[in-house]
């Protein structure tokens, strides 16, 4: 009996699986055997088999070597070994999936999940706790959850991951994780769709997303209020939205804060806002120079959304007509720019207000301002 350790590699994706094998023929002649994968189901015509090591005295020695190889590559995202023989299962990046007929454990990188053939078994479900702190999983439409009888299990908790993808759950503001280099589990990821509305979970650096082949899942949709004040997500070309029957959820609303910094989402005609008890949530907050530089850098040159484009004659005409109309109706801007040559600063003030000593009307060019 010949004992050997092998590695099968998917030629296109470079995903791989490591295993051990015993056969009566020579390892190089054992060409029809291409692995015993339980979870990973590749197209075997696209697999390439490599003999890592052979001529073991017995199967036990081969398994020991197999274990060492699996442990060596266990954190590699292309590795399709989900258990270490005789030790444990490695489920990082795995989930229970279904296609509506059968269930299986699947990698988040599995092509069947990416192309939408399979979806998470927990889709439309969430983990909650009752008044006795018992944990259970229910539908997001469960009346007990909608009424508030059942609370989300992760209320006041944050879910974070380390550089290896290990997941942690902490209570908000817990000092025990402040020293760890952790990030949100969705950082660097987003949900997109293709021209056929198939959805994918990808990296923000994915070439297909950067090229525009894939777009954000919300592209072409808007959240609105219907006649019963329910929030709906509809197409931006929906006749009821275009006619003004359905209003954008932000129309007439704004974020505001009180003197303690608590944030509220209110109507623009809210008495507390009109009286000055509440103010805009950005009031009294100034960007640091570092933040200003980052904003400037992110919108210059090719990064600017209008880069390489020009307004049409029709658009320019509309802009001029709107400006003229606002001027005639007294709707022009209520503030003006003033500058201080000595301090090398620009500042906005309310129109017709007193100009401070040492300041004058106008605005210094950016090139003249010392940073």
What whole-number percentage of the chain has pLDDT above 70? 91
Same domain membership, residue 146 and residue 119: yes
Q: Give the global pTM.
A: 0.39
| Structure token digits, residue 263 | 């944030």
Q: In the predicted model, what is the mean pLDDT of residues 171-195?
A: 76
- Evaluate whether residue 31 is within a structural domain: yes
Question: Phi and psi (nearest 5°) for 336?
Answer: -135, 160
According to DSSP, residue 329 is labeled T
Is residue 74 scored above 70 in pLDDT? yes
d(CA 35, CA 15): 13
Q: Is the pLDDT of residue 151 over 60?
A: yes
Q: What whole-number distance in Å separates Cα of residue 62 and Cα of residue 53?
A: 8
| Whole-angstrom distance, CA of residue 350 vs CA of residue 286 | 18
Q: Which residues contact 279 (CB under 8 A, 6 or more apart)?
A: 256, 257, 273
DSSP-assigned letter for residue 92: T
pLDDT digits (tens, 9 = 90+) for 235-277: 888 998 888 888 888 888 888 888 888 888 888 888 888 888 8
65 and 127 in a single domain? The answer is: no
Check the CA dihedral 161-167-169-174 and report its sign: negative
The yes-or-no verdict on residue 351 having pLDDT over 80 is: no
DSSP run (H or E) holding 303: none
pLDDT at position 357, please? 86
* Same domain, yes or no: 128 and 173: yes
User: What is the reported pLDDT for 324?
Assistant: 84
Query: For the chain, what is the mean pLDDT?
Result: 82
User: What pLDDT does residue 8 have?
Assistant: 93
Residue that terminates a domain, selected from 23, 54, 89: 89
255's CB contacts (< 8 A; 6+ apart) are 263, 264, 265, 266, 280, 281
Q: Residues 128, 172: one domain?
A: yes
**What average pLDDT does range 69-88 have in this prediction?**
77
Q: Is there a single domain that holds both residue 67 and residue 100?
A: no
- For the segment 65-79, the average pLDDT, to the nearest whole number, is 84
The reply to whether 44 falls in a domain is yes
Residue 92 has pLDDT above 60, yes or no: no
Residue 295 pLDDT greater than 90, yes or no: no
Range of 48-62, 213-227, 341-355 with top mean pLDDT: 48-62
Distances from the Cα of 18 to the Cα of 49, 59, 254, 291, angstroms: 10, 15, 57, 48
Q: Which two tokens stand for residue 85?
A: 């023989």
Summarised one tens digit per residue, pLDDT across range 322-338 is 888 877 776 666 778 88
Enumerate residues 6+ apart whose C-beta is below 8 A from 258: 264, 277, 278
Least confident of 53-57, 58-62, 72-76, 218-222: 72-76
User: What is the sign, positive or negative, of the torsion defined by CA atoms of 243, 244, 247, 253?
Assistant: positive
7 domain residue, yes or no? yes
Residues 185 and 100 in one domain: yes
Residues 104, 67 share a domain: no
Counting the structural domains of the chain, the total is 3
Q: Are residues 16 and 75 in the same domain?
A: yes
Whether 233 is covered by a domain: the verdict is no
Owning domain of residue 153: 96-189
Cβ-Cβ contacts under 8 Å for 156 (sequence gap 6 or more): 171, 172
Do 30 and 56 lie in a common domain? yes
Q: Is residue 296 in some structural domain?
A: no
Closest CA to 40 of 102, 99, 94: 94
Is 42 part of any domain?
yes
User: Is 166 in contact with 92 (CB distance < 8 Å)?
Assistant: yes
Both 84 and 155 in one domain: the answer is: no
Three-state DSSP class for residue 178: coil
Question: CA of 263: how far to CAs of 204, 260, 270, 285, in Å?
Answer: 30, 9, 14, 14
pLDDT over 70 (residue 201): yes
Residues for the chain: how many in total?
371
Q: Please tell me whether residues 65 and 103 are part of one structural domain.
A: no
Res 89 pLDDT > 60: no
Which spans in the chain are helix H? 59-73, 111-114, 143-146, 207-210, 239-242, 271-274, 289-298, 313-328
Q: Among 173, 189, 205, which residue terminates a domain?
A: 189
- Cα separation, 40 vs 199, whole angstroms: 21
107 touches 79 (CB < 8 A): no
Query: CA-to-CA distance for 247 and 269, rounded, in angstroms?
Result: 17
Please give the pLDDT value at position 337. 85
35 lies in the same domain as 107:
no
Q: In whole angstroms, what is the distance from residue 111 CA to residue 201 CA?
A: 11
In angstroms, the CA 182 to CA 123 distance is 26
Position 65 scores a pLDDT of 92
Domain-located, residue 115 = yes
Domain end among 30, 65, 89: 89
Q: Does residue 183 form part of some domain? A: yes
Rounded mean pLDDT of 138-153? Answer: 85
Number of Cβ atoms within 10 Å of the Cβ of 108: 16
């Amino acid at each position: 009996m010949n004992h050997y350790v092998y590695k099968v590699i998917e030629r296109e994706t470079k995903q791989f699986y490591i295993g051990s094998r015993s056969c009566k023929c020579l390892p190089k002649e054992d060409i029809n055997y291409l692995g015993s994968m339980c979870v990973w189901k590749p197209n075997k015509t696209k697999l390439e088999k490599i003999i890592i090591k052979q001529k073991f005295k017995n199967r036990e020695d081969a398994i020991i070597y197999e274990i060492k190889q699996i442990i060596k590559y266990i954190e590699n995202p292309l590795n399709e070994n989900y258990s270490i023989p005789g030790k444990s299962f490695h489920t990082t990046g795995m989930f229970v999936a279904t296609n509506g007929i059968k269930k299986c454990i699947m990698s988040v990188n599995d092509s069947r999940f990416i192309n939408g053939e399979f979806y998470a078994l927990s889709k439309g479900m969430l983990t909650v706790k009752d008044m006795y702190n018992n944990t259970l999983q229910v539908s997001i439409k469960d009346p007990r959850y909608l009424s508030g009888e059942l609370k989300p299990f992760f209320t006041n908790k944050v879910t974070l991951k380390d550089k290896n993808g290990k997941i942690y759950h902490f209570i908000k503001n817990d000092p025990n994780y402040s020293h760890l280099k952790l990030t949100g589990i969705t950082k660097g990821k987003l949900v997109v769709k293709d021209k056929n509305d198939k959805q994918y979970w990808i990296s923000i650096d994915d070439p297909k997303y950067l090229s525009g082949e894939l777009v954000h899942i919300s592209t072409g949709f808007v959240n609105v209020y219907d006649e019963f004040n329910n929030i709906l997500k509809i197409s931006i070309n929906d006749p009821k939205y275009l006619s003004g029957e359905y209003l954008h959820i932000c129309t007439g609303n704004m974020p505001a804060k009180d003197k303690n910094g608590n944030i509220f989402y209110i109507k623009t005609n809210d008495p507390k806002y009109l009286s000055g008890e509440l103010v805009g949530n950005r009031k009294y907050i100034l960007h640091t120079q570092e933040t200003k530089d980052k904003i400037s850098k992110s919108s210059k040159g090719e990064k600017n959304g209008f880069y390489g484009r020009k307004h049409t004659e029709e658009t320019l005409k509309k802009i001029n007509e709107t400006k003229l109309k606002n001027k005639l109706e007294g709707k022009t801007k209520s503030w003006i720019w003033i500058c201080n040559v000595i301090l090398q600063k620009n500042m906005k003030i309310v129109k017709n207000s007193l100009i401070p000593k040492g300041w004058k009307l106008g605005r210094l060019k950016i090139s003249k301002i010392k940073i």
